[in-house]
Amino acid sequence: MSACIRFVGIATVVALGCASNRPRQRLPPPTEATGEAVAEDVVPPEKLEEIQLILQRKQQDVAHCWTDEAERTHNRNLVIDVMFKLTIEREGRANDVQIMKNSMPSKEFESCLVTMVRGFDFPAIPSAQEMTWEYRFKPLY
């Protein structure tokens, strides 16, 4: 167990930010009375920022997927760039998490990451939002 803990210590993670700072939002059609779009289902910017902060903070949790992969491949110099797409449902749960790019194609790593992201708690939002995010994992040295 202590070897595993030490091994986790050599991993560093770098948040690369959102591949798309603004998730796609669909405005409803204009109302007849004013001709302006009603933005009831638009996610407020502060909720989007909160979601991005959660993804940044949770990268530390997902780092154990890197550790598992480094142990499985016996490669302590492993660098993984991964981009994933997810849909955040109105209730704040991640749904439909898909790997879009992975510099180290590994079903085990991808499965670990998808499972972790599906477990994140996001804030409740007015409408489901699709977004992409990128993580980079590399050794500390």
Copy the structure tokens of residue 92. Answer: 């704040």
Say how far apart CA 96 and CA 18 lie, in whole Å: 17
* pLDDT in the model for residue 141: 66
Question: What pLDDT digit, counting tens, does each position of 3-36 carry?
Answer: 333 333 334 444 444 444 444 444 455 544 444 4
Copy the structure tokens of residue 80. Answer: 């993984």
Three-state DSSP state, 25? coil
Whether residue 131 contacts residue 83, with contact meaning beta carbons closer than 8 Å, is answered with no
In this prediction the pTM is: 0.69
Q: In Å, what is the CA distance from 32 to each residue of 25, 37, 41?
A: 21, 10, 18
Question: What pLDDT digit, counting tens, does each position of 125-137 carry?
Answer: 999 999 999 999 9
CATH number of 10-21+40-139: 3.30.2420.10
* pLDDT in the model for residue 27: 46
Secondary structure letter of residue 29 according to DSSP: P
* pLDDT in the model for residue 29: 52
Question: What pLDDT digit, counting tens, does each position of 60-116 carry?
Answer: 999 999 999 999 999 889 999 999 999 999 999 999 999 999 998 899 999 999 999
